[in-house]
Structure 1
Amino acid sequence: MEDGIFISQEGHAKKVLKKFNMADCKPVCTLVECRTKLSKYDEGIIFEVTLISHYMEKLTMTHTKAAKRILCYIKGTLDYGLIYSSSNEFKLVGYSRKSNTGYMFYLGDIVFT
């Protein structure tokens, strides 16, 4: 970009997709299919995809399908990233919850963590 910089993880995402033979998968626009249920024994409901790793000891077909869906979602986000426009007015601003369990930092108008 002429008036800024674009940062993405496209290269890393492509390596991950290739590693798991998913480079040619069909992209999807959501991380989880509706009514997906995840648990250690395919009982119970957990909708947070980041928890799939909690079931590594006893993976089921549901977990495997959910993991593959994540990779298909990643395939559809290869061109996502952050644009940092040039400006003389960049200001670093941070917010955190009282318990320090959540936080956000902005550089100008861009959230970066």
Structure 2
Amino acid sequence: MGELKFFLGLQILQSDEGIKIHQTKYTKELIKKFKMEYAKEMKTPMHPSSALTLDEDSPNVDQTQYKAMIGSLLYLTTSRPDIMFSVYVCARFQVEPREVHLKAVKRILRYLKGTINFGLCFRRSQDFSLLVYCDADYAGDRWERKSISGGYHFIGNSLVSWTSKR
């Protein structure tokens, strides 16, 4: 059957250094699907000081398109933990999306445009030590006053799992 190159929409690149799992092709299709190919690239998926809320003054947007964008981005988090938190924040507003929420989703897409080749790298190593980073806050969610926690798990230099929970 040959060397594995695609699996469930994931692109797999095997080399002597290790394995890279990415979704470059899917990301390009996503940017084109939502007509963001001529948009300016962004350096971060979400502005550091932004706090999305139920903005009653902002006009409503098409709920079907918003849900399609969120669903596509959620699938992309399989190989892109860097957008996980931003997508999760935007996903909370699927019931009644507003213009400000759509702008936040479009910013994620603009970030993806600039980081299209990002993915997960599993480098060959003899180091099998487990390293865990975690962080939490107390009632940091400004909207519902719930705590948010997250963590990353590495074996050697390779990220093997991540989580973000409210």
Whether TM exceeds 0.5 here: the answer is yes
Structure-2-length-normalised TM-score: 0.51
The corresponding residue for 2:111 is 73
Of residues 42, 46, 61, the one that matches 1:28 is 42
Aligned residues of 1:42 and 1:62 also touching (Cα < 8 A): no
- Matches of 1:37 and 1:85, distance apart in 2: 36
Greater RCO, CA 8 A, separation 6+: 1
Q: Percent identical across equivalent pairs?
A: 27
Q: Answer 1 or 2: which has greater strand percent.
A: 2
Instruction: Report the CA distance shift for 1:62/1:107 in structure 2 as closer, same or farther (over 3 A).
Output: same
Of residues 15, 25, 30, the one that matches 2:29 is 15
Q: Which amino acid aligns with 1:111?
A: L
- Structure 2 gap segments, 5+ residues each: 1-14, 58-84, 135-148, 162-166
Structure-1-length-normalised TM-score: 0.69
The corresponding residue for 1:108 is 156
- Matches of 2:152 and 2:47, distance apart in 1: 28
Aligned residues of 1:37 and 1:62 also touching (Cα < 8 A): no
Instruction: Report the CA distance shift for 1:102/1:55 in structure 2 as closer, same or farther (over 3 A).
Output: closer
The corresponding residue for 2:53 is 39
The alignment covers a number of residue pairs equal to: 105
